[in-house]
């Protein structure tokens, strides 16, 4: 009995979160030594738009990564399962899309953990990447996501598709700015984004770029991360982004 207690105590000691090393920086882009980019779509699943988006991606033979909002996953479990079945990556975009740096650590923990649990319960996949809503983060959030086994991912190319940008402008901006290692931020519920996708795929392929999920991009080069400045001012990161109050729930 005493021996069992000792083994348990040892397990507790070696599994203390954070004991493996310092918290890593957020990921903004992938390795630049290979001509690979990652398309990422935030805020889904969306009842109408996500199936259309999946059709477009399938037609062009492209795999992308979907940053899932937990409450939406619970509302549309069949669509989340379809995303996974079609070979796309799924990642964590919080439980209810709140402005994370305004939360205390316990609320941060719940926002991230609940989303991962919902995704795992529905699709059988435990996400490896977490993107905070609006790209807003601080040191506490970095610690919490790391403790939960998730890498905090931002982006290197913003399509600005939440600000009434035309499909033509979205496509030309992304094609112009993307290169090897780019992580491209888009939103799955936007009409103009879907209209832009075929041109984006064609334009990036013309630049010799291939498409991968984030899991594929980082599978063999987990250390290939681009560190960012330690903090992005919330006002700057939040420009043009729809702020949701804590009580806000999504509607179709
Ligand atoms: Zn979002």
CA of 42 to the centre of ligand 1 (A): 5
Question: What span, in angstroms and rounded, lies between the C-alpha atoms of 106 and 100?
Answer: 11
Q: Which band of pLDDT confidence, cut at 50, 70 and 90, is reported for residue 24?
A: confident
Average pLDDT, the chain: 84
Residue 107 CB-density burial (10 A; 0-12 exposed, 13-18 middle, 19+ buried):
middle
Give the number of domains in the chain: 1
Q: Is 242's pLDDT higher than 50? A: no
Does residue 3 lie within any of the structural domains? no
Does residue 61 lie within any of the structural domains? yes
Residues 193-216: tens digit of each pLDDT: 999 999 999 999 999 999 999 999
The one catalytic residue in 76, 93, 97, 187 is 187
Question: Residue 120: what pLDDT?
Answer: 94
Cα-based distances in Å from 202 to 16, 40, 99, 131, 198: 47, 17, 35, 27, 6
Residues 32-78: tens digit of each pLDDT: 999 999 999 999 999 999 999 999 999 999 999 999 999 999 999 99
Q: Between β-strands 36-44 and 183-187, what pairing exists: parallel, antiparallel or unpaired?
A: parallel
Confidence (pTM): 0.80
- CB of 99 closer than 8 Å to CB of 243: yes
Higher pLDDT, 248 or 104: 104
Which structural domain, as residue segments, surrounds residue 151? Answer: 26-220
Does residue 244 lie within any of the structural domains? no
Q: What is the CATH number of the domain that holds 205?
A: 3.20.20.370
187 is catalytic: yes
42 is catalytic: yes
Does residue 122 lie within any of the structural domains? yes
Does residue 4 lie within any of the structural domains? no
């Amino acid at each position: 009995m005493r021996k069992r207690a000792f083994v348990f105590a040892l397990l507790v000691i070696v599994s203390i979160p954070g004991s493996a090393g310092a918290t890593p920086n957020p990921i903004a882009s992938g390795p630049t030594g290979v001509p690979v980019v990652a398309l990422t779509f935030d805020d889904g699943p969306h009842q109408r738009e996500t199936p259309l988006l999946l059709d477009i991606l399938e037609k062009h033979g492209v795999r992308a990564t979907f940053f899932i909002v937990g409450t939406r996953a619970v509302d549309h479990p069949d669509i989340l399962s379809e995303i996974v079945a079609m070979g796309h990556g799924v990642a964590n975009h919080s439980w209810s899309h709140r402005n994370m740096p305004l939360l205390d650590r316990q609320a941060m923990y719940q926002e991230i953990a609940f989303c991962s649990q919902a995704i795992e319960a529905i699709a059988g996949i435990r996400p490896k990447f977490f993107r905070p809503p609006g790209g807003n983060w601080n040191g506490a959030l970095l610690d919490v996501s790391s403790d939960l086994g998730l890498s905090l991912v931002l982006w290197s190319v913003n399509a600005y598709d939440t600000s009434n940008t035309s499909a033509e402008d979205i496509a030309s901006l992304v094609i112009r700015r993307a290169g090897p290692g780019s992580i491209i931020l888009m939103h799955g519920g936007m009409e103009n984004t879907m209209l832009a996708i075929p041109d984006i795929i064609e334009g990036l392929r013309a630049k010799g770029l291939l498409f991968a999920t984030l899991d594929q991009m980082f599978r063999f080069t987990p250390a290939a991360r681009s560190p960012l400045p330690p903090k992005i001012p919330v006002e700057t990161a939040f420009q043009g982004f729809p702020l949701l109050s804590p009580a806000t729930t999504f509607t179709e």
